[in-house]
């Protein structure tokens, strides 16, 4: 961390990410109590001067009752969200200690840079074709802390200009790279940017291709599916992404090694039109991947099932059961002499000479070694269930007797809300490898409960305005809102406008006078710009023994000049990559933050990410989806879902709510390759956040959409 902070001091762009507009570094403070699980985070938002900072906390694991801030300059505060002014620039270690009820304390500390921000200069421009071959270039650059004194244009055809917003006429149709370089006062900052300029003839054409990778080989067959509005295509220029090229219409190419290659096809029509299309091609080559699963037929006996995959025929299976016994059967059954954990390994071999080994821990136990046990504490309509099962490291399935079920892990306690009086039979089934046990008990509910819940959504035009959607359960007749900025409100569906960008702790308290029930739900609501980035994560299927996660980031307002990642485990990345790979020490849920610098502004997004490892041993599926969007988004009445696939496929498009419930099947059927559009209307939707889930021949991808009231 010290090394990273030193880098920030020497780099204004990186320091800016921490020191002004949005300083969103959440360092987790954990409980000092072995039995409690409370934690707190620090959020700091400097004003435009860089010397006055608004601090917030984000606590969880209990009800916070007191706050103790140490601002690192000798000043302190006991407020929950204090505002503090510093007098001297520099780095300060800020600490917050929060006390919770029930008894638990948590401390979080972080370094905050105080001082006048240094703004970078950013070159940017907008182009507009104003004639057959004429283009108007409009300067959109910002000088940051200085004034821009020069603009140097290179139009990509040998012509240049020093005007701020010039116009240029190209001699002939074609594709050109236009670049702008700006310089500020005293030459303190220089920045460049380039854009492709396409001058089309009257003819239009579109490049596109499909491909098929020959199983178990390094060879890919490419099929040209390009088209022109008139005439014919006269040339094809392929770039296979490994330095090799071809001018054939439908070439085949053999790669030297496995990997992901960016393949591009550029076509030229008889009348001079040109177009380029690029797609990722995954070359797996010959492969074999060992894998298995097991299940128990009696306490000491396990059945092992080979689940390996290979591009060639598997000819041998070598099992090591971890107790000194082995087998060469494909799907053996083995009886152990005693219970316990055993490290089982399967090694496969193929007729092409490929070998691979996969190992996993398997638990073998008698009925006495696995026992489901739980207790219940009833408080009105809410029941707290405590899992006391043996062993403690297991997965549990709860059946609450009212039609609701829940999966839990590692003996986590469970709170469940009942909405009617009566006697309910509750069952807990635990599973630990080959160990299963179920126990049931009754709970008596004499008072029906109520449960507060809501979602929120930003206004697409004014991002400081937030729409709140009540999702509470019970016979609710009173809603009391605390918007986290000192403002309150009533009503079931309020709309609130915040004064400034920030993260606000919003609470809804509902009252059910019929059942004398009151309940409160709180969550963080971010008032942020539409330029805030969007990111996602998925496991690395080729790294099955570690928890490696592949991240991707989408910048919604152009290319960022700086990118910062906080992976939620104390690790950060400021290299500027939009697609980092991060290895976690263990599986679990981490709060990941991604920040981008656009112009002179910093925008961040923080989301929970569940890190896990792949266990199937199957390599990444080649994505058949080239394009997938929904527009407009957000929308009031309807939106158009567009997707582009590179092969004929069985396509399923579903609308899913935040809880994972299917709202409707938007489209289902066998679909030709190419671009497709499907209309989605909000007739079955309540205002809020939803997901559009696209499944193509088993490959799945998802888009978030917003339905406005």
The answer to whether residues 653 and 667 touch, using CB atoms and an 8 Å cutoff, is: yes
Residue 37: the pLDDT is: 57
* 158: helix, strand or coil: coil
- Integer Cα distance of 73 and 52 in angstroms: 13
pLDDT of 612 reads 65
**SS3 letters across 28-40:** CEEECCCCCCCEE
Residue 589 near residue 251, CB atoms below 8 Å = no
280, 319 contact by CB (below 8 A): no
> Which candidate, 110, 95, 115, places its Cα nearest to that of 4?
110
Distance, in Å, from the CA atom of 326 to the CA atom of 601, rounded to the nearest integer, reads 63
Q: What is the spatial distance between Cα 431 and Cα 4, in angstroms, rounded to a whole number?
A: 44
Residues of the chain scoring pLDDT < 50: 1-36, 367-368, 614-621, 659
Please enumerate in sequence order all residues whose Cβ is within 8 A of that of 458, keeping only pairs 6 or more positions apart, or say none.
465, 466, 467, 527, 528, 530, 706
Give CA 55 to chain center in angstroms. 26
Beta bridge pairs of residue 589: 610
CA distances from 299 to 303, 342, 367, 437, 591 (A): 11, 14, 7, 12, 40
Asked if 190 contacts 255 with a C-beta cutoff of 8 angstroms, the reply is: no
SS3 call for 17: helix
pLDDT at 653: 87
pLDDT at 4: 34
- How many CB atoms within 10 Å of residue 535? 21
- Written as six digits, the tokens of 533 are 């980035």
pLDDT for the residue 95: 86
Residues 134 and 166 sit within 8 Å (Cβ to Cβ): no
pLDDT of residue 248: 94
- Tell me, rounded to whole angstroms, the distance of Cα 481 from its chain centroid: 29
How far is Cα of residue 678 from the mean position of the Cα atoms in its chain? 25
DSSP string, 147-171: -EEEEEEE-SSS-EE-SSS-EEE-S
CA distance 488 to 278: 52
Question: Which segments within 540-673 are labelled E, that is strand?
Answer: 547-554, 562-566, 572-573, 581-584, 588-598, 601-611, 625-631, 638-645, 649-657, 662-671
pLDDT at 150: 92
Alpha-carbon span 531 to 353, nearest angstrom: 52
């Amino acid at each position: 961390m010290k090394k990273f902070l030193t880098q920030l001091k020497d780099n204004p762009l990186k320091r800016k990410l921490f020191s002004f507009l949005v300083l969103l570094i959440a360092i987790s403070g954990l409980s000092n109590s072995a039995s409690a699980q409370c934690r707190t985070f620090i959020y700091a938002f400097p004003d435009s001067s860089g010397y006055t900072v608004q601090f917030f906390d984000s606590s969880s694991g209990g009800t916070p009752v007191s706050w103790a801030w140490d601002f690192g300059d000798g000043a302190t505060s006991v407020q929950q969200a204090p505002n503090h002014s510093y007098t001297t620039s520099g780095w300060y270690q800020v600490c917050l200690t929060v006390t919770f009820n029930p008894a638990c304390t948590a401390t979080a500390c972080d370094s905050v840079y105080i001082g006048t921000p240094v703004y970078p200069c950013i070159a940017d421009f907008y182009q507009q074709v104003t004639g057959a071959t004429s283009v108007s270039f409009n300067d959109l650059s910002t000088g940051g802390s200085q004034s821009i004194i020069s603009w140097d244009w290179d139009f990509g055809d040998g012509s240049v200009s020093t005007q701020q917003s010039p116009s240029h006429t190209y001699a002939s149709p074609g594709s050109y790279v236009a670049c702008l370089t700006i310089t500020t006062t005293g030459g303190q900052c220089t920045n460049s940017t380039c854009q492709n300029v396409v001058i089309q003839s009257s003819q239009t054409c579109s490049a596109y291709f499909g491909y098929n990778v020959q199983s178990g080989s390094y060879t890919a067959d490419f099929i040209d599916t390009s088209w022109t509005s008139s005439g014919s295509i006269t040339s094809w220029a392929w770039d296979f992404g490994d330095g090799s090229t071809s001018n054939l219409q439908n070439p085949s190419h053999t790669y030297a090694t496995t990997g992901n290659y960016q393949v591009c096809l550029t076509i030229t029509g008889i009348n001079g039109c040109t177009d380029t299309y690029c797609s990722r091609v995954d070359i797996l080559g010959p492969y074999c991947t060992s894998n298995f699963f097991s299940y128990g037929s009696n306490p000491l006996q396990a059945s092992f099932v080979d689940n390996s995959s290979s591009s060639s025929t598997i000819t041998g299976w070598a099992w090591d059961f971890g107790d000194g016994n082995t087998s060469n059967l494909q799907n053996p059954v083995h009886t152990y002499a005693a219970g316990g954990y055993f490290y089982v390994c399967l090694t496969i071999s193929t007729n092409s000479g490929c070998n691979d080994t996969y190992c996993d821990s398997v638990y073998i136990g008698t009925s006495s070694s696995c026992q489901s046990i739980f207790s219940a504490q009833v408080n009105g309509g809410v029941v707290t269930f405590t899992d006391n099962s043996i062993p403690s490291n297991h997965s549990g399935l709860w059946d609450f007797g009212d039609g609701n079920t829940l999966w839990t892990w590692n003996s986590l306690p469970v709170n469940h809300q009942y909405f009617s009086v009566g006697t309910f039979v509750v069952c807990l089934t635990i599973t630990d490898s080959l160990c299963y046990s179920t126990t049931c008990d009754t709970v008596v509910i004499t008072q029906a409960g109520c449960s507060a819940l809501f979602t929120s959504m930003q206004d697409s035009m004014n991002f400081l305005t937030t729409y709140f959607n009540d999702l509470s359960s019970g016979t609710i007749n009173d809603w009391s809102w605390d918007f986290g900025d000192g403002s309150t409100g009533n009503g079931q569906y309020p709309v609130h406008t915040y004064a400034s960008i920030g993260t606000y702790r919003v609470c809804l308290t509902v009252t059910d006078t019929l059942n004398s029930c009151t309940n409160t739900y709180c969550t963080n609501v971010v008032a942020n710009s539409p330029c805030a980035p969007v990111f996602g994560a998925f496991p690395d299927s080729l790294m099955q023994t570690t928890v490696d996660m592949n991240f991707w980031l989408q910048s919604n307002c152009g290319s960022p000049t700086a990118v910062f990642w906080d992976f939620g485990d104390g690790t950060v990345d400021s290299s500027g990559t939009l697609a980092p790979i991060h290895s976690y020490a263990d599986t679990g849920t981490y709060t990941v933050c991604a920040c981008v610098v656009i112009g002179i502004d910093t925008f961040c997004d923080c989301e929970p990410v569940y890190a896990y490892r792949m266990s199937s041993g199957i390599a990444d599926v080649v994505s058949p989806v080239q394009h997938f969007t929904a527009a407009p988004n957000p929308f009031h009445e309807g939106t158009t879902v567009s997707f582009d696939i590179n092969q004929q496929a069985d396509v399923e498009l579903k609308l899913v709510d935040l809880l994972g419930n299917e709202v409707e099947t938007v489209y289902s059927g066998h679909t030709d390759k190419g671009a497709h559009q499907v209309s989605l209307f909000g007739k079955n939707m309540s205002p809020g956040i939803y997901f559009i889930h696209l499944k193509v021949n088993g490959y799945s991808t998802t888009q978030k959409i917003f339905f406005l009231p």
